[in-house]
Structure 1
Amino acid sequence: MADTADNASPSYLPAISKQVTELVLAGSISHAEQAFADAAEQHGDLVVAEVLETIPPHVTALHMAGFDGGKLSLATLLVPPKAWAASLAYIAATWNEDMIEDDPERIAESLFAHIHGVVFGTEDEERRRELLLEASASDFGATVFAIVFSLAPKEMLEVAGEVISKGSYLTAHSSSDNDVIPLAVALAQASEDGWDRALFELFPEFRHSADLADAEYSDDPDEEEPSVLQRSTKELLYRLRKQVPSTRTATGRTPRRTVGTGIFG
Structure 2
Amino acid sequence: MSDDSKSNLPALSKQVTELVLAGSLGHAEQAFAEAADQYGDLAVVEVLNNIPPQVTALHLAGFDGGKMSLATLLVPAKAWADSLAFFAATWPDDLIEDDPERIAESLFAHIHGVVFSTDDEERRHELLAAASATDHGSTAFAILFSMAPREILEVAGEIISKGPYLTGQTSSDNDVVPLAIALAQASEDGWDRALFELFPEFRHSADLADAEFSDDPDEEPAFLQRSTKELLYRLRKQVPSTRSARSTSRRSVGGGGLFS
Structure 1 CA distance, aligned partners of 2:33 and 2:217?
54
Counterpart secondary structure, 2:178: helix
Query: Quick one: which of 228, 238, 243 aligns to 2:238?
Result: 243
Tell me by how many angstroms 1:216 deviates: 2.4
Structure 2 CA distance, aligned partners of 1:247 and 1:166?
44
Counting aligned pairs with the same residue, the percent is 77
Query: Which residue in 1 is equivalent to 2:87?
Result: 91
Q: Which amino acid aligns with 2:181?
A: V
Structure 1 CA distance, aligned partners of 2:182 and 2:109?
15
Structure 2 CA distance, aligned partners of 1:91 and 1:16?
24
Q: Which amino acid aligns with 2:168?
A: A
Note the residue ranges of structure 1 that are not aligned, 5 or more in a row.
254-265
Alpha carbons of structure 1 residues 8 and 123: separation in structure 2 relative to 1, 3 Å: farther
Alpha carbons of structure 1 residues 132 and 222: separation in structure 2 relative to 1, 3 Å: closer
Query: Which residue in 1 is equivalent to 2:13?
Result: 17
Query: Quick one: which of 130, 133, 142 aligns to 2:138?
Result: 142
1:30 lines up with 2:21 in the alignment: no
1:121 lines up with 2:120 in the alignment: no
Alpha carbons of structure 1 residues 222 and 9: separation in structure 2 relative to 1, 3 Å: closer
Query: Which residue in 2 is equivalent to 1:176?
Result: 172
Query: Which residue in 2 is equivalent to 1:213?
Result: 209
Structure 1 CA distance, aligned partners of 2:158 and 2:8?
49
Structure 1 CA distance, aligned partners of 2:33 and 2:23?
17
Q: Does the 8 A contact of 2:105 with 2:144 survive in 1?
A: yes
Query: Which residue in 1 is equivalent to 2:255?
Result: none
Query: Quick one: which of 106, 113, 135 aligns to 1:110?
Result: 106
Query: Which residue in 1 is equivalent to 2:228?
Result: 233
Structure 2 CA distance, aligned partners of 1:91 and 1:238?
12
Q: Does the 8 A contact of 1:7 with 1:43 survive in 2?
A: no
TM-score by length of 2: 0.90
Q: Does the 8 A contact of 1:216 with 1:228 survive in 2?
A: no
Note the residue ranges of structure 2 that are not aligned, 5 or more in a row.
249-260
Query: Which residue in 2 is equivalent to 1:46?
Result: 42
Structure 2 CA distance, aligned partners of 1:148 and 1:74?
24
- Measured on the aligned residues, the alpha-carbon RMSD in Å equals 1.8
Counterpart secondary structure, 1:215: coil
Q: Which amino acid aligns with 1:234?
A: K
**1:161-172 mapped onto 2 (5 Å cutoff):** 161-172=157-168
Q: Does the 8 A contact of 1:196 with 1:209 survive in 2?
A: no
Query: Which residue in 1 is equivalent to 2:258?
Result: none
Aligned residues: 248
- Residues 208-262 of structure 1 show CA distances to partners (whole Å, capped at 9, x for unaligned) of 455531322235x497312132111111000000000000222348xxxxxxxxx
Alpha carbons of structure 1 residues 40 and 102: separation in structure 2 relative to 1, 3 Å: same
Q: Does the 8 A contact of 2:154 with 2:210 survive in 1?
A: no
Alpha carbons of structure 1 residues 227 and 46: separation in structure 2 relative to 1, 3 Å: same
Alpha carbons of structure 1 residues 42 and 159: separation in structure 2 relative to 1, 3 Å: same
Counterpart secondary structure, 1:67: coil
- Residues 35-73 of structure 1 show CA distances to partners (whole Å, capped at 9, x for unaligned) of 111211221111111100000111111111111141001
Q: Does the 8 A contact of 1:69 with 1:118 survive in 2?
A: no
Counterpart secondary structure, 2:71: helix
TM-score by length of 1: 0.88
- Residues 116-155 of structure 1 show CA distances to partners (whole Å, capped at 9, x for unaligned) of 1111111111111111100100111100000011110110
Alpha carbons of structure 1 residues 166 and 35: separation in structure 2 relative to 1, 3 Å: same
